[in-house]
Amino acid sequence: MLTETSESNRSDGRIPTSVNSDNRRNHFHANLPPVSMHIVRFRDPAGSVRRGRLEDGTVRFGNSQYPIEEVEILPPCEPTKIVCVGLNYADHAAERGKDVPDRPLLFLKPPNTVAAHESTVQLPAGKDRIDWEAELAVVIGQQCRNVTADNAMDVVEGYTCLNDISNRDDQDREQNWVRGKAFDNAAPMGPVVATAEEVPDDARIELRVNGDTKQSSTIDQFFFSVPELIAEITTHLTLEAGDVISTGTPAGVGPLSDGDQIAVEIEGIGTLEHDVVVPTDDSNSAGQ
């Protein structure tokens, strides 16, 4: 059903939710809250794709349960589009030499950009600078259009982590940012969708590269709030269940190098982990 607006039962501005090597998996488990209930999309040992609950290191689906080491964590949703927000932290706008816009700066990442927790992202070859950008991502729970800010929380399923990988060489040369933002696997996300109760309004967001902290801020530093973003976006386009809004990155972006290991951690959600490889020349990525 296409949701226009509905009466909200929330007045606090919180976002409600509904609900790959062994060493790397074990490291991921250590980064989960000790007591948690998250929604996880996974491939079970038989190869079936499921959506279940992650509780204390156990994935539960129906009457089945699996230790997390026995399943493959998949991207938490299958968006038809990712609507991204640029320059939504004043400190990031400053480091990019830009003014904070007077309305949300929006751009799109298509489905080909989605990558999973623990994936290896192959970056475009021959570029001088491809940056990391840690972001809080909002997963939409139902088809919606023309949603008011007051009712925006009704269409939200929950939070996940996202790395808005950005090819600055081409982004700074083009207006539509297709080369800069829409290349394959340019949006690793996951590992889970968290419930509202687990994510504080001022939740800390942090990005680490090879264990060194590069970005550290809190989500209450947004210039445009999540309800404002949903209202603006749905004025112009329909959001589908599973679509994602990526809310912008704080200061501290920087260039990725071959072999870098990235961790995006958001309080109450957990840690998205992936690494990157850089081809030695354009021929290595031809046809991919």
Residue 96: which of 276, 256, 249, 260 has the closest Cα? Answer: 249
CATH number of the domain to which 93 belongs: 3.90.850.10
Residue 260: which of 188, 198, 201 has the closest Cα? Answer: 188
φ/ψ of residue 155, rounded to 5: -100, 5
Between 33-37, 150-154, 164-168, 216-220, the lowest mean confidence (pLDDT) is in 33-37
Cα–Cα distance, 72 to 45 (Å, whole number):
8
- The per-residue pLDDT for range 123-180, each reduced to its tens digit, is 999 999 999 999 999 999 999 999 999 999 999 999 999 999 999 999 999 988 999 9
Cα–Cα distance, 245 to 157 (Å, whole number):
11
Q: Does the structure show a pLDDT above 60 at 32?
A: no
Q: Is residue 22 part of a domain?
A: no
Count of CB atoms situated within 10 Å of the CB of 182: 18
The reported pTM is 0.85
Three-class secondary structure of residue 40 per DSSP: strand
Q: Is residue 5 part of a domain?
A: no
**Max avg pLDDT among 109-113, 154-158, 170-174, 199-203:** 109-113
Residues 6 or more apart in contact with residue 283 via CB below 8 angstroms:
none
Q: Does the structure show a pLDDT above 60 at 120?
A: yes
- Residues of the domain holding 120: 77-285
Q: Is residue 33 part of a domain?
A: no
Residue 115: which of 272, 270, 266, 257 has the closest Cα? Answer: 272
Q: Is residue 110 part of a domain?
A: yes
Q: Is residue 66 part of a domain?
A: no
Q: Is residue 61 part of a domain?
A: no
Q: Is residue 35 part of a domain?
A: no
- Domain count within the chain: 1
Cα–Cα distance, 237 to 232 (Å, whole number):
9
Residue 1: which of 142, 149, 148 has the closest Cα? Answer: 142
